[in-house]
Structure 1
Amino acid sequence: METKYSADTIAAAMSLQISSYIYTSMATFWTYGYTCSLHEEWTFLLLSRWTKVKCLYVFARYVPFFLFTSHLYMNFTRDENLNKCLMLDNVCSSLSLLSVLCSESFFVLRTYALWNNNRIVLAALLTAFLSVGVTSAGLFFGSSGTVPFQTSPIPGITGCFRPSGGIGFFVPFILLSALELGLISLTLVRALQTWRTANTHLFAVLLKHNIFYYACGLFCSVVNILASLLLHHAYNAMFQDFQFIILAILATHMHLYLWHMDRHLHGADSAECGAVTGSGS
Structure 2
Amino acid sequence: MSLDPSSIDMQQLLDFLAFLKNHQEKLAGYNTTVPVEGYILMGCMAALIHEYTLTFIREVNYVWTCPWFFGLPLFYINRYVPFINIGVFLYINFGHVPHTVCYRLVSGTIWLIAMASFFAQMIIILRTFALWQNNPVVVKSLSLFLTVSIILTFVLTGKQLGHMNFAPTPKFLPGCIAIEDSDLSLYVYVVLFVMEAIIVGLTVIKAIQHLRASRTSWLSQLYKNGIFYCLCVLALSTGNIIVPLVPTIPYAYKQTMRMPQHVLHSIFCNRVILQILQYRHEVQQQDRLSAQHRPGTPTNIFTTVIDEEADKTQDMELVSSDETQTTQNQSERFRRAEWIS
TM-score range, shorter chain: 0.7 to 0.9
Give the counterpart of 2:126 among 96, 109, 113: 109
Deviations 1:114-153 (A, max 9, x none): 1112233212111111211210121122132224123666
Aligned match of 1:120:
137
- Structure with a larger share of its residues in helix: 1
Match of 2:336, SS state, is helix
Q: How many residues align?
A: 274
Task: Write the distance in 2 (CA, Å) between the matches of 1:236 and 1:162.
Answer: 12
Q: Is 1:223 the counterpart of 2:214 in the alignment?
A: no
Q: Distance in 2 between matches of 1:182 and 1:138?
A: 22
C-alpha RMSD of matched pairs (Å)? 2.8
**Would you say 1:52 and 2:114 are equivalent positions?**
no
Distance in 1 (alpha carbons) for counterparts of 2:211 and 2:163: 50
Q: Which has the larger radius of gyration?
A: 2
8 Å contact from structure 2 (residues 243, 254) kept in 1: yes
C-alpha displacement of 1:97: 1.0
Question: 1:213 corresponds to which residue?
Answer: 229
Instruction: Give per-residue Cα distances to partners, 1:166-191, cap 9 Å, x unaligned.
Output: 22111111111100111122222333
Q: How big is each residue's C-alpha offset from its partner over 1:170-218, in whole Å with a ceiling of 9 and x where there is no partner?
A: 1111111100111122222333444433544444233212211221111
Residues 1:272 and 2:334 are matched in the alignment: yes
- 1:97 aligned to 2:114? yes
Identity of aligned residues (%): 22
Could you say which residue in structure 2 is the equivalent of 1:170? 186
TM-score (norm 2): 0.72
Question: TM-score scaled by structure 1?
Answer: 0.85
Q: 2:63, 2:277 within 8 Å by CA — same for their partners in 1? A: no
Match of 2:316 in 1: none
Structure-2 change in CA distance of 1:193 and 1:43 (3 Å): closer
Letter in 2 for 1:141: G
Match of 2:104 in 1: 87
> Which whole-Å CA distance do the structure 1 matches of 2:55 and 2:200 have between them?
28
Could you tell me how far apart the structure 1 residues matched to 2:34 and 2:220 are? 43
Does the C-alpha gap of structure 1 residues 14 and 74 become closer, same or farther in structure 2, counting only changes over 3 Å?
closer
Task: Tell whether the 8 Å contact from 1:16 to 1:234 is kept in structure 2 after alignment.
Answer: no
Tell me the secondary structure at the aligned position of residue 67 of structure 2.
Answer: coil
Unaligned runs of 5+ in 1: none
